[in-house]
Structure 1
Amino acid sequence: MSETPDTTIDLPEPSELLAAHRGALADGRLTFQRCSACQNAWLPPRDRCPRCLADTWAWETASGRATVVSWVVYHRAYHPAFADRVPYNVVLVDLEEGPRMLSTVIGIDGGEGLAIDLPLQAEVGHEGEVPVARFRLAT
């Protein structure tokens, strides 16, 4: 007798910072943090600058413009939740404002057409009830 695979995706522990970031995404805005001391910009949200460890920072809203730094295309699902998505890409992008983030490029087949420095545009999608930033090829 075969069991039905568990397709539940583990989510990060809830926090006020994560709630603020997801709230902005739910409103259609991709936000990131910028350090008041050294001007470093980062994602995902955290309470201190990962460069200088200062705890003084502010939220900023990204334009959504980004470029591809690197990517991988998965042809095998390493988690049952992604089985119906293969092949799918995971992309490291540089947002125009500075932070890097991992995401996916939608609207393409696997990794078709991906290239380093390829311009992208962010849009908000959902994984279940959770808003997430995804990207499309910029037009």
Structure 2
Amino acid sequence: MIHPEMEWRAHLAEGRFMIQRSRSTGGYVFYPRIAEPRTGAEDLEWVNASGRGAVHAVTVVRKKDPADSYTVALIDLAEGPRMMSRVDGLAPDAVVIGLPVQARIVTEGDQPLVVFVPA
């Protein structure tokens, strides 16, 4: 059995943003795991995430050069789970709670990761 985090990263490497869903409860799960946290259901399957979401909370990491500043944001995914990422495509101070966003997979170094842009 592949560890859930490794499987999630493999999907990202293929350009797919996937999250888990319980077959029995329909509940969506993020961060990848072996059981649904609320119910303990172990029948998780991988499904395509819509990529839609909204900013739940945001902070700005300020750098000496303001052009290097970036956001750290909690994003409420349309499917229900919340994930931590960043919002690109806006000045850090323009990212506000409630902002509709869309996921993008980018590669930094040799690692694919999910970031969000304004929807």
TM-score of the superposed pair, with normalisation by structure 2: 0.86
Can you give the 5+ residue segments of structure 1 that lack an aligned partner in the other structure? 1-14, 78-82
Whether the 8 Å CA contact 2:60–2:93 is kept in 1: the answer is no
- Cα RMSD for the two superposed structures: 2.2
Q: Confirm or deny that 1:112 pairs with 2:93.
A: yes
Larger radius of gyration: 1
CA–CA distance in structure 1, aligned partners of residues 99 and 90 of structure 2: 13
SS of the equivalent of 2:12 reads helix
Equivalent pairs, count = 118
CA-CA distance at 1:40 after TM superposition = 2.0
* Deviation string, structure 1 residues 94-137 (Cα, Å, up to 9, x no partner): 1112221000011223x222122211111101232221100111
SS of the equivalent of 2:113 reads strand
SS of the equivalent of 1:112 reads helix
TM-score of the superposed pair, with normalisation by structure 1: 0.75
Can you give the 5+ residue segments of structure 2 that lack an aligned partner in the other structure? none
Q: Confirm or deny that 1:131 pairs with 2:118.
A: no
TM superposition outliers: structure 1 runs of 4+ over 6 Å: none
Among 74, 83, 105, which residue is 1:101 paired with?
83
Whether the 8 Å CA contact 1:32–1:99 is kept in 2: the answer is no
Q: Confirm or deny that 1:88 pairs with 2:70.
A: yes
Q: Confirm or deny that 1:48 pairs with 2:23.
A: no
SS of the equivalent of 1:91 reads strand
Q: Confirm or deny that 1:58 pairs with 2:45.
A: yes
CA–CA distance in structure 2, aligned partners of residues 69 and 113 of structure 1: 14
CA-CA distance at 1:50 after TM superposition = 1.1
Instruction: Indicate the residue corresponding to 1:122 in structure 2.
Output: 103
